[in-house]
Each structure stands twice: as structure tokens, then as C-alpha cells.
Structure 1
Amino acid sequence: MHKNEQLRLIVNYISRQRLGEAINAMEIYLSTRPTQIDLDKLTEIRNDYQLMADYWRRGFDDPQRPMLYRQLLHRLYQLVVNRDLHERFMESPYLQGVYKRPRIVRTEWAVASIKSDLEAYVSDSVLLELEPQHVQQKKRMELNTRHQQLVNDIFDYILTSHLWKDSLCDAFVDLLLAPTIDVNDQLMIISAISLSLQNAFDINKFKVLTTLYQQSSDNHVRQRALVGWVLAVDSSEAEIFPEVVEIVNTICQDDLNCKELTELQMQLYYCIDTDNDQKTIHDEIMPDLVNGSRIQMSQGGEFDMDEDSLEDILHPEALERDMEKMEKSMKRMADMQKQGADIYYSGFRQMKRFPFFQDISNWFAPFMPNHPAIAHSWEKAKGSKMLHYIADVGSFCDSDKYSLVLAFEQVRNQLPSKMIEMMDNGAATPMPVGGEVDPEEKKMPAYIRRIYLQDLYRFYNIFDKRFEFPNPFGKDRSLLFFTCSLFNTTPLKKHFQEVASFLIKRQHADDALRILEMIPQEQYNYQLYMMKGGICRHKKSLLAHAADCFRKALELNPDDERAMTGFARASFDLGCYAAAIENYEKLLQIQPEKKSYMLYLAYSLSNMYRYNEAEKYLYKLNYEYPDDLYVKRGLAEVLTGQDKYEQALSLYEQLLSGEQNQADDLKNYAFCLWFAKQNDEALKAFKKYVELRKTAGETTDFREMFLVEKAEMLRRHHISQMDVLLMLDAVNFL
């Protein structure tokens, strides 16, 4: 769904309190797309604005003026957004159909009427229990079919609704808190409201969800409402609707709410990481599961060992190893699932082609065995115990459970009868990949929320009409709601460090840095300095900041090895070799034999032209690690610095003969040749260096290199200014 840029600009004027400009811009917009209703509404807004402005110009002091101005902003916002929504719905053939269908099949959409119909379904279901058993099944199917169509109509109507008036907010809150309504119907309506909020921010829909989150006693209702309002919250809306600030602040005063918001923030990143998790499962886990599975069933229904059985007899230790790997892989997958990973996404994404998923509402339907689309399959005798067990104990989201039943119906008659019999008799129990989930865990808010997020993620990434809807998981959207300024002054900020730490572990360092930068400097502790320093150290532009963070961490904990290591490495990367030497020497007192400490100390000493001191560390390392290329490079540079060119050239030739030679090796080799007065060979090496960098898409500025970067080194090796100029001409022009 593409938003109209002109109307977005007008909304931007409104959010910045520029009412006059917004009115003028809307007049220009409507002049090319006139509709009488919108023109009349805009004229009323302009007239009221001019009346207020006239009183102001005359010098009248009106204490109600701020309120009147904000009301005019709200009226214009509603006009602009409703116009935008209507145009988007009408420009898309698909959305136009979704918009028109419920309005054609039913003309009465008052909330009281909707509530009456939903309550009637509950009462009719109860009365049906009084009917004879042979009558119940047919009537129940008819009742459920009619009801499902009603829910589908309600869903589409709300999804394509314009902005709500205040009265609708109160009416829907009453409906969604009513004990006389089936909770599954309430959950469907909450999802419809949430999707509608993604189309355009609506303060009244937002209030419905936040009120439900605070007042509902049903965990499923609370968690679905929480996800809905969080995905819609934005600080820019608070400029138009200041009550958003108050609502968010009130919610965050509760410690439990802050805990759930923190969990939700982390769970959203598990959604983002779904593709990476699927790759891990495919590349690292599934091969062991496949190799460990040595038992197969024959066409006759008997269990036989596969073609590797002879190999297993001759080498039973191999079978044991494979089984051990399989068990470890299954445990690893179960652990990923418990942490929040969506382990079934890849396996079920191909099972969303059933006609069932053509209705938007079905993507958000809580799993109901009596759903008309699956009731017949669910109640079939053959294989029902196996199907029911898998669906019940596995950690499947609701849309995957529907996929499971629909797919099982297609293969039910192809399954070996022996296996079905064993399952139904309880002689064998199927185990979902990832293991069973404890029934008590399924009642927990975090689990309920995770399952719903997986349903959402599937809809926005698999539904064939997904591009008609703004995707909250899209690459152009940020799911890092913790950085929204609305939360920055609330008690939720106590959880910023926890989320930043989580993001670092999940390889989202940039987002972690965004959170850390929101924490006031006076609140920083050792751990925060270490986290921020660790992120900044990997960004060239933030190296100085990294060094400062590690230095402050070291001030708080002077003997801490991690802080000292961070500061030493950041100092080295910055070229502050004196500080690096000081700290690496301290580190070697803590761990005298640690290779990395000796190597960085040697490089630092070499860069400070203290070659003799560096040499002793590098010779020791070269003896202990004769194949280490970094040691050879360091030693070659030191020998060059000591004018031991023959030994240095020998090392460079070793480095350049290997497959892992680098451009810098070739550059340093060229310098060594130059210092050894082998000018022609040095020139050839410099030219090869240029070609190597060009192949990598990089350019070479020899003037900067010779006259600035390496000027001191050239001076120390008695390369005259004339020699430099001649080499410059040679590498650039000869």
C-alpha cells in the first residue's frame, strides 16, 4: 500500500503545529481532486481557524485558544488521513474488494449490533448442547459457518475503516471487555484494529488497545493488544495527540508492564532474525538430524533398518556418534525455541497455499478445532490421536496449526496403516522437532506473545497480498521502539542496559548503540562503558569514543583485564602507541604468556621505532608459532627497521609465496627493497601493489603515502627528497 506523498506532507505540517500551512496545502490538493464533502469539511475548518485568528488579532485573551487550536489540528488530521485511506483503498483492486464486500453484505455496522450478533453466537452455542446428539453436529457446523463468516466480515470492515470518533472508542472497549463475548472473537477484532493502525495512526484505536492492555484480565487479550499498540506507537503522533505521552507514561509506571515491554522488544528481534535462524537450522542442525535417523518404515508398514544397517553392524561406534549428534542437535533446536527463535518458519511457509489463507482474518484466527475449514478433518477417526497430540504439545503458532491439519488431511490416507495403528493405540508417540512444550509454559505471557508474533510475521512475509499492507517488519521500518522518545522519561529506561546487552549478543550492535546513547552519561556504570566501548571499537569514526569508554571503565575498575585490553586495543587502532605500550605491558604482568598481548605490544613498539624491544617478543613468538603470518609480518617490519634487509626480504618472500598474501605485504616488501637500494625491484613491487588494490576496487595515493604517512620512516632510512620525487614519478608515470 503506497501512501500519497502530498498528503503525508500535510500530515507532517500538522504534526509540527503548522495549521495554516496545512490548510492551504489541503486546499491546493483538493483543487485537483475535488469532492464536495471534503471541501465542505475543509471550509468549516478554515472558517473556524479564521474566526479564532480574528479574535487573536483584535487582542482578545482567550484561555480556550490552545484547546481550540488543537481541536482544529485533530479535525484537519482526520480529514487528511481519511482522504488518504480512501484513495489507497480505491486505487488497489484487492483492497477495494476488501473494503466493499462487508459493506455490501451488511449495512448495519453499529457496535451495538455487532455485539448483539456475537453474544447471540455464545448463547446459541450453549442452547445447542440441549439438542439431541445426532442433531447437534449438523446444527453446530451450520452455526459455526455462519459465525465464521460474520467474524470475517467484521475483521475486513474494521481493517478498512477510517479514523474512529471518540464514541466508537468507548463502544469497542465495552465490547472487547464484555464477558458475554467469545474471547476468540475478541482476539480477532484486536488484530483487525492493530492492522488498521498500521494503515494510519488513529488515536481512538490506539486508546482501545492500550485500555485493553491495562484492564483486561485475559492474558491472550492483553498480549495481543500490547503487540498492536507498540507496533503503532510513534513519537511524531504525540505532537498531534499529547494524550499519547500520558498513556504511555501511565503504562510504564507498572513494573510488570515494563517487564513485558522489555520482553517484547527482544522478541521482535527474534522475528527479525528468523532468516538467520533458519539458515543455522538448515546448515548446522538438520544434517545431524538426518544422519542420526537410521530407522525407516517399509511400504508394508514394518519398521526396518535402512541400507546403512550393515555399516552400523560393522561400525557400531559410528551409529552411536550419529545418534549423539542427533540428540545434541535436537536439544540445540529446543533451546533455540525456548529462547524465542521461530524454528518452524521455513518448514511451514510452503503450507500457506491452501484456500484457507486467502481470507486475511484466518491468518490471525486463534486455533479452533471447530473452525469450519478444519472441523471435519480434526474429527476424523484415522490418525486423529497423532494429529491432536502433535498440535497440542508442539510449539506451533496458530496459523501453523491450521497448516498442519490441512496438510495432514492431504496425506492421511497415504500414511502406513501400521504406524497409524501404533500411534492411535499409544504404542508410539510422535515427537515434534524442538520437543514438547509444558502446558504451564503455554499460559505464560511471553509464550502467548511469541506465538502471536509468529502469526504476524507469517502474514507480513508470506501472504500473497502482503505488499498491499504496511509491513512493521519491513526493512524501512525500525522495530526498536525502546529508542522512541516517549519511553525515555519513563521507568522503562531502567531496562535499557538489558536490551542493549541482548542486542549485542544477537549481532545488532548499531541498534544497541542507539539505546546506549539514550542513557544519560551520569548514569553510566562499568558495564555500560564496556558495552559502548566494545561497539565503538569496530567503527573507525568512533575509535576515540571507544578509547574514552574503556578508559572510564578502567577508572571505575583499575585492575580489570577486560577494560585494560579494550583500552589498549582502541589506543593501538587510534595510533596512540605510547598508551597501548603502557597497557599491554601491564596486561603481560597479568598473563605473561598470552600471545595477543605480546604481539600487539611488539607492533606498538615497532610503530614507535623501538625495534630492539619489539624484536625480543617477535623472536619468541616466531619460535612458538612458526606458521603465524602476523608474527612473520611484525618480525619482517622490525628487521626492516633495524636495516637487516636480507633477513626481512626473506620473510616477505615467504609471506608473498603463500595464498593469504595481502596488499600490505607487497607494499612493505617494496619499501624494504627500496631501503636496500634495489630501486627497480621496489618500483615493480609498488606497481603490483597498485594493481592488487585496483582489483579490489581501491585507489592508491602515493604522494600522501610517501610525503605524509611514511615520511618519518623514509627519513630514518636515509631516503632523500630527490629519491622520493623520482619514485613518485616512476610509480605514477613510468
Structure 2
Amino acid sequence: MTLQEINKAYNRIVGSLDSKELKNAFDSLQALIAGSREYSFQDKLNELQDTYKYMLRYRIEGAKDPMQEQIYNNLQASTYELADSVRQKALAIESPLSYYSRRRNISVQPPFTYEQIHNQLILEYEAGKHRECDAFNISIFSKIWVSGFLKQEEANEIRDMLLDEALPFITGCQIVSALFLGLQEVFDKEKALLLFDAASHPNEEIKVRALISILITLYTYRKRTALYPQIANRLAALAEVPGFTKALRTITLRFILARETEKITRKLQDEIIPEMMKLSPKISNKINLKDLTPEQLGEEMNPEWESFFADSNLGKKMEEFGELQQEGADVMHSTFIHLKNYPFFHELSNWLLPFTIEHSSFDNQFNQDNEAEKQMLDSMTLAAFMCNSDKYSLYFSMMQLPKEARKMMMHQFDSQASEMIQQNKEELISKRGKQDTIISQYIQDLYRFFKLYPGHLDFTDIFTLPLDFHNLEILRPYISDKESLTTIAEYYLRKNYFCDALTIFNQLAEIDPNSDILFQKIGYCKQMEGDLNGALDAYLHADLLNSESKWVIRRIAGCYRSLKQPEEALKYYRRYEALNPDNLSVQISIGHCHLELKDYNEALKCFFKVDYLDSKSHKAWRPIAWCSFLTGKYDQARNYYKKILDNQPNAQDFLNAGHTEWALQNIKGALAHYQQAVQIENINFSKFQEQFGQDIPDLLIAGIEETEVALMLDQLRYKIEGAL
């Protein structure tokens, strides 16, 4: 079998197991064993199939076995594991992936147990040999990362190393990252349980990294973790530690924020795409909706929702660069994206290494002449706004500078950056907490690894996954409280992830069905997802719960307009008008409703009122001019189009002015305006003709003979060609 065929067969097996179709999984597994010629696994497969057949026969005979569920779960878990083993064995020799390449390299090296490496590392560390310590840490990382299913003895040795306080905390961090990456390649219960040991570690850095790794592992294997009761038990024990739910919530928010990284890198923020007006293109163009910004379905959220943010850490978060940094956003990614080519980053494990001035890369760099460099590194260790990977990048890039330039830079750093870093340490950490800072930095380190590591394509990019931990069945008992769900939903909403927010708001609405604010937000999310009927239903429900919300009344009216029900929209705009009679936006929308209902005289009244109350903006000129034309007030239309053409006209204005002149029997004037309309469209006659064609019924009502229409268009063609 080719590598592609092996992976395809494996995915079929996992798909069948995820769907609890054991017979199909066994058949596909049989095909994988035969195709890859890994017959050493045949006996195990036969054993699993026999057990399953006995269980089915026992069930058919009507016997009740209290152990049946446990047996069934064990069968599923064992089949997953067997499929993993067969795949790994089949890929071991030829797969070019980093995981298998590193595995092959280690297999030809002298075999060392984890205990032997542990003892040797202690000796090197106590002797202050940084270079040797770093080399051993790389060995530990690699050995754990590419290991097969851990035997109990191996797991115990790794646990001893992880919990040994005589070792530097760097070692524990590297063990956690190696376990995490190994689990991303293949599930191993022993590795997962080791992560739970690490999540109870006294060192905060190790503990936080382990918790993040556990959550991603639970998400990756969400279909099979329930098969291992030890995992649920360890999770329950971990949840008893104070602050567990808060940590889950923070990690979830930070992964949501990580989705923003590319937008920040491109210096672009997501804009909420406003709902397109559901009016005909003709009316939309006639009155220049973009200029009018009529009251329909705008993008603004309800200002009343801000009450939640006023009482929470989300309250003052804005999209400006500095505010994003305070929020924990990855604002430095764009700065360091091209500074990952140093030899240090050729080693995979270094991408996830905590920043420390004890790393061998800094050996022999400090003496009495470069105290500033040492101070810089000391300060960088405390910097909360840079992840570990970027701190290494900054140091290596500065080391590339000439000595004098470096001195000057160090001086500037000493006088300015050091103060900023100290301030960040005091302010950012006090605001977000040490745990929050570690969470942000490790997630950013992971982001750089999965996006920038030269071999990153060999790994499944976790940042392309939703990572909605709050939706995992195994985690719901710990993060389904109202505060957590509300916080996560609001964060999704503020970051414009409306579908994710909607899922949670629907859950919250089941808990609190009398909250009009929740139904407002459900409506808003559905509207922004394009579900106007669903949005309208939610807004109407919110209006029933609270009929005093002007924002909801306007939303309902906007939905009705977009759904081509101007008569219903008009009722709600009138309701709003009673509450706020001089709101020009609503007056314009009322005028539009009358326009869509072909009640042009009433529309004119609204637009004249807007022009009177806001005479400086001239927003109402276009609708007044077009309604005047439609009602046969051609002189009035001419006067307004004259003012419009003197004030930054567009192609539609010249077209409409041409219609008006034609209705007044000024054929030459009409022709001149039509020619200008074509020219302003860069001689795109077909586009002009399309717009012109939409207006033919109105021209006929204005008294233009149908035979004259074709003649006018031909005259215009000759005029454009310069033949007339």
C-alpha cells in the first residue's frame, strides 16, 4: 500500500469507530493489515472480533450482562489502539513526516532509558553545564515525542523526571510539550495521564502548559476519551482545584483571540458585513442608499448590551493596537514572523521552549562590557507582551547587529523598553494575572510552531479547528455555568463569530427564557449569518418580552423591509417614530417604505421633512428628485437634479436627470446627460443599457413613446462614437 492508501484506510477505520460501527471497523482493519502486510497484528484482530461476536450472541440470547457496556467500551478502545499500532508500523519505514524521520534517527542511536537520561541531566545541571543540559532536554523531548505506547515502567520514569524539583522547570515544560505533540500523532492513555500529573505540578508554567495540552487532546480525541474512565476521573479530581473553571474559560477565550492573529498581522480588522438592502437594484441606485445609510439592518449592536461589559474585563476592550495588546491579542506575530530562520529554530523542541537566560545560546555573552545585554535579557524574561519564541528571535536578531549599533540599541532599550517591560509586568500581570499571561504566551508559541516551523505541514494545524472546549461533553460539567457560557458567548459576539455565539445564546435562552436581551442577541447573530426569518422571529420574541426597546423595534422593521414586506415594516417604523419623532434615519426609512409601496406622495413628505430638518447634508435630494419624477413633478425634479449634478454626481444621477429632461421634451438635454452617464462608467455602454432598461416602464408612464426608446439608444450610440 502507498502512504496515501494507508492513511485513507486508517481514516475509514476511525470513522467507523466514531460512528460505533465495529463490524465495519474490523473489516477495514483487516484490509489495512493485509494491504500493509503487517500480519503480526492478525491475532489481536481475531481476538477482538471473537470477543465482539460472543458479546452479540450473548445479547441476542437475551442474557443481561452488567459488564456489557464496559466490555463494549474496551472493545472500541482496543480497536482504536490496534488501528493506531498498525498504521504506525506501516508508516515507520517510508513516511517522510517529521515524526517518523525523528523516530528512525533515534532508533539507530544508543538506547538510553528515561531514568538514565534523568540521572545524567541532574549531574550536568548541578555542574552548571548549560549546553549539555540543553542537549539532554532535546533528547528527552524527542524520545517522548516519538515514543510508541508507553509501558507502565516508562510512564513511571517520565513521571519521576517530571516531578523532580531538582531539575530545571524547563525540563518539565519540554516533557509536557513532547507529550502533547506525541498525542497529536497517536492517542496514548499513559501519555494523557502524565499530562494530568503535570497539570497538578507546583510550577505554574508547567501546570498551565499541561492544562492547555489536556484540553487540545480531549478535543482531538473527543470521540474516544469517554472510553477511558481514568481520564474522566482525573479530570474530576483536577476540577476540585480552585480556579479550574476560570482557567478553562480563559484558555477558551485565548484560543478565540488566536483566530484574530492573521487579521492583526495584516493590520486589518474584521468588519461586520452589513446586510445588503433587499430592495430592487433600481430603487437602491436611484436614491443612492450608500449615501443615505437608511434605517434597515445596520451593523450596530444594541448599546444596552454594554451593561454586561461595564461590569466585566471585556468592557473596555477595543480594536486599537494597544488595547489588543492589553487584551492578550497576538500583536507581535507580524513583527517576528520573518525572524525564525536562526539555527536555534532548526530544532523543533526550541519552538516551545520557555525563555530563560540560562540557555546555552547566551553562554559567554556577558561580561563587564555588556551589562546592558544582561539587563535586557533579564527584562525580556519578565515581558508579558512577547511570547517565548519571539523573545529568542529578538535576542538573536540583536546579536546580528554591529557592536556599536548594538550598544546604541541597548542604551535605548535600557532607558525606554526596560521601563515599559517593568510597567507591563506590573500592570498586565496584575490585570490579567500570571496564569493568564502564561496561557497567552504558550498559545502564541504554539501558533508560531504550527504556522512557521519549517516542517509545520507535517503536523495537523490545531488553529484551523474550532477548539470550542465548552461544547465537549466531557468538559460541560465544568464550564456550563451561566457565567462561563455568557462570557464565552459575549466574546464570540464581540469578535464577530456569530455562529459560535448563537449556539451558546440558544443554550442560555433555554436556561433563562424570559430574557429579552438574549433573544435580541440571538436575533442579531441570525441576522449577521443571513437568516433573516430566524432573526425576525427572535426579535419579535424579544419585543414581546420588552416592548420598550427602540433598538428591537428598528430591527424588526429592518427585517420586514429586507423580506420585502414594506407594509409590516412601516408599522414598526411608525412605532419608533412615536418614541423618537425627529430621528432622520427613521424618517428616511419610512419614506423608503412608502416608495416601495408606490405611495410616492407620502414618500415625498418624509423626504422633504428630512431635507428641512437636515438642510446641510443634502441626503434627501436624490429621493426627492426621483419621487418628483415618478409623481410627474418634472420641473421640481429638474431643480433638484440640477443641484445634485453641481455636487459630485454619479452615473445614476446623470441617467435620472436625462429621464427628467426627456419627460420635459428636452431631447438634446436628455441625450447630453445620458452621454455623461456612459462616460462616467468608463464607456461601459452595456452597464448603462442595463440600468436604462430597468427604467423603461417609468419612462412610458412619463409619456415617452415606446418607439422613441430604441431611437434614443441608437442616437446615444452614434453620439458616443462621435458620428453625430
Normalised to the residue count of structure 1, the TM-score between the two structures is 0.75
Residues 124 and 416 (structure 1), Cα distance of their counterparts in 2 relative to 1, 3 Å cut: closer
Work out the percentage of aligned pairs sharing the same amino acid. 19
TM-aligned CA deviation for residue 373 of structure 1: 2.2
> Which of the residues 478, 490, 508 maps onto 1:501?
490
> Is 1:228 the equivalent of 2:213?
yes
> Which of the residues 428, 437, 447 maps onto 2:424?
437
Residues 380 and 627 (structure 1), Cα distance of their counterparts in 2 relative to 1, 3 Å cut: same
State how far apart, in whole Å, the 1-side matches of 2:109 and 2:420 are. Answer: 44
Question: Matches of residues 154-553 of structure 1 in structure 2 within 5 Å?
Answer: 154-164=140-150, 172-173=158-159, 175-213=161-199, 215-234=200-219, 237-239=222-224, 241-242=226-227, 243=229, 256-280=243-267, 333-378=321-366, 381-382=369-370, 383-388=372-377, 390-395=379-384, 396-411=386-401, 413-415=403-405, 428-431=415-418, 436-438=423-425, 442=429, 444-474=434-464, 477-488=465-476, 490-494=478-482, 495-524=484-513, 525-540=515-530, 542-553=531-542
Offset from partner CA, 1:487-530 (integer Å, 9 cap, x none): 45654352222222222222333332343344453524233222
State how far apart, in whole Å, the 2-side matches of 1:533 and 1:648 are. Answer: 40
Offset from partner CA, 1:237-293 (integer Å, 9 cap, x none): 3456343666666666777222222221221132221222234399xxxxxxxxxxx
Equivalent residue, structure 1, for 2:300 = none
> Which of the residues 530, 539, 555 maps onto 2:544?
555
Equivalent residue, structure 1, for 2:95 = 91
State how far apart, in whole Å, the 2-side matches of 1:696 and 1:251 are. Answer: 71
TM-aligned CA deviation for residue 61 of structure 1: 4.5
Q: CA RMSD in A?
A: 4.5
What runs of 5+ residues in structure 2 fail to find an aligned partner?
270-318, 715-724
State how far apart, in whole Å, the 1-side matches of 2:159 and 2:686 are. Answer: 60
Equivalent residue, structure 2, for 1:8 = 11
State how far apart, in whole Å, the 1-side matches of 2:634 and 2:149 are. Answer: 79
TM-aligned CA deviation for residue 62 of structure 1: 3.6
Q: Greater CA deviation, 521-530 or 266-275? A: 521-530
| Residue identity in the other structure for 1:148 | D
TM-aligned CA deviation for residue 12 of structure 1: 1.2
TM-aligned CA deviation for residue 9 of structure 1: 1.2
TM-aligned CA deviation for residue 410 of structure 1: 2.3
TM-aligned CA deviation for residue 618 of structure 1: 0.5
State how far apart, in whole Å, the 1-side matches of 2:583 and 2:598 are. Answer: 23
State how far apart, in whole Å, the 1-side matches of 2:654 and 2:149 are. Answer: 67
Equivalent residue, structure 2, for 1:41 = 44
What runs of 5+ residues in structure 1 fail to find an aligned partner?
129-139, 283-330
> Is 1:608 the equivalent of 2:597?
yes
TM-aligned CA deviation for residue 659 of structure 1: 7.0
State how far apart, in whole Å, the 2-side matches of 1:267 and 1:496 are. Answer: 15
TM-aligned CA deviation for residue 188 of structure 1: 0.6
State how far apart, in whole Å, the 2-side matches of 1:50 and 1:232 are. Answer: 32
State how far apart, in whole Å, the 2-side matches of 1:573 and 1:107 are. Answer: 71
Are the equivalent residues in 2 in contact too, given 1:374–1:406 (CA < 8 A)?
no
| Residue identity in the other structure for 1:258 | T
Equivalent residue, structure 2, for 1:581 = 570
TM-aligned CA deviation for residue 453 of structure 1: 1.1
> Is 1:565 the equivalent of 2:554?
yes
State how far apart, in whole Å, the 2-side matches of 1:73 and 1:502 are. Answer: 37
| Residue identity in the other structure for 1:42 | L
Are the equivalent residues in 2 in contact too, given 1:198–1:472 (CA < 8 A)?
no
State how far apart, in whole Å, the 1-side matches of 2:240 and 2:116 are. Answer: 36
Q: Greater CA deviation, 431-440 or 507-516? A: 431-440
TM-aligned CA deviation for residue 380 of structure 1: 7.1
State how far apart, in whole Å, the 2-side matches of 1:695 and 1:107 are. Answer: 76
State how far apart, in whole Å, the 1-side matches of 2:239 and 2:473 are. Answer: 13
Are the equivalent residues in 2 in contact too, given 1:118–1:182 (CA < 8 A)?
no
Q: Greater CA deviation, 381-390 or 8-17? A: 381-390
Residues 277 and 92 (structure 1), Cα distance of their counterparts in 2 relative to 1, 3 Å cut: same
Residues 583 and 185 (structure 1), Cα distance of their counterparts in 2 relative to 1, 3 Å cut: same
Equivalent residue, structure 1, for 2:587 = 598
> Is 1:153 the equivalent of 2:143?
no
| Residue identity in the other structure for 1:63 | P
Offset from partner CA, 1:309-367 (integer Å, 9 cap, x none): xxxxxxxxxxxxxxxxxxxxxx9644322111222222222221111111111111112
Report the count of equivalent residues.
Answer: 645
Q: Greater CA deviation, 251-260 or 452-461? A: 251-260
> Which of the residues 597, 602, 607 maps onto 1:618?
607
- Any idea what SS the aligned residue of 1:592 has? coil
Are the equivalent residues in 2 in contact too, given 1:102–1:153 (CA < 8 A)?
no
Are the equivalent residues in 2 in contact too, given 1:571–1:580 (CA < 8 A)?
yes
> Is 1:107 the equivalent of 2:107?
no
State how far apart, in whole Å, the 1-side matches of 2:582 and 2:630 are. Answer: 25
TM-aligned CA deviation for residue 116 of structure 1: 5.4
| Residue identity in the other structure for 1:557 | N
- Any idea what SS the aligned residue of 1:507 has? coil
Offset from partner CA, 1:418-473 (integer Å, 9 cap, x none): 776x679x7x4545878742258556100011111111111111111111111111
- Any idea what SS the aligned residue of 1:350 has? coil
- Any idea what SS the aligned residue of 2:460 has? coil
- Any idea what SS the aligned residue of 1:91 has? coil
Equivalent residue, structure 2, for 1:319 = none
Residues 378 and 92 (structure 1), Cα distance of their counterparts in 2 relative to 1, 3 Å cut: farther
Offset from partner CA, 1:634-654 (integer Å, 9 cap, x none): 334533553435544775787
Q: Greater CA deviation, 160-169 or 462-471? A: 160-169
State how far apart, in whole Å, the 2-side matches of 1:547 and 1:273 are. Answer: 30
Are the equivalent residues in 1 in contact too, given 2:222–2:472 (CA < 8 A)?
no
> Which of the residues 67, 70, 80 maps onto 1:67?
70
Are the equivalent residues in 1 in contact too, given 2:38–2:90 (CA < 8 A)?
no
Residues 412 and 653 (structure 1), Cα distance of their counterparts in 2 relative to 1, 3 Å cut: same
Offset from partner CA, 1:508-563 (integer Å, 9 cap, x none): 333323433444535242332222222222344x1122222222333333322322
Offset from partner CA, 1:688-707 (integer Å, 9 cap, x none): 99x99x99999x999x999x
Are the equivalent residues in 1 in contact too, given 2:176–2:210 (CA < 8 A)?
yes
- Any idea what SS the aligned residue of 2:52 has? helix
Are the equivalent residues in 2 in contact too, given 1:500–1:512 (CA < 8 A)?
yes
| Residue identity in the other structure for 2:399 | E
Equivalent residue, structure 1, for 2:292 = none
TM-aligned CA deviation for residue 481 of structure 1: 2.9
| Residue identity in the other structure for 1:277 | I
Residues 380 and 267 (structure 1), Cα distance of their counterparts in 2 relative to 1, 3 Å cut: farther
TM-aligned CA deviation for residue 53 of structure 1: 4.2
TM-aligned CA deviation for residue 608 of structure 1: 3.2
- Any idea what SS the aligned residue of 1:351 has? coil
Residues 10 and 369 (structure 1), Cα distance of their counterparts in 2 relative to 1, 3 Å cut: same
> Is 1:23 the equivalent of 2:8?
no
Residues 480 and 52 (structure 1), Cα distance of their counterparts in 2 relative to 1, 3 Å cut: closer
Offset from partner CA, 1:136-172 (integer Å, 9 cap, x none): xxxx33xx32322222122112222334467766664
Residues 537 and 69 (structure 1), Cα distance of their counterparts in 2 relative to 1, 3 Å cut: closer
| Residue identity in the other structure for 2:28 | A
Residues 249 and 632 (structure 1), Cα distance of their counterparts in 2 relative to 1, 3 Å cut: farther
Are the equivalent residues in 2 in contact too, given 1:155–1:189 (CA < 8 A)?
yes
Residues 247 and 627 (structure 1), Cα distance of their counterparts in 2 relative to 1, 3 Å cut: farther
State how far apart, in whole Å, the 1-side matches of 2:685 and 2:27 are. Answer: 54
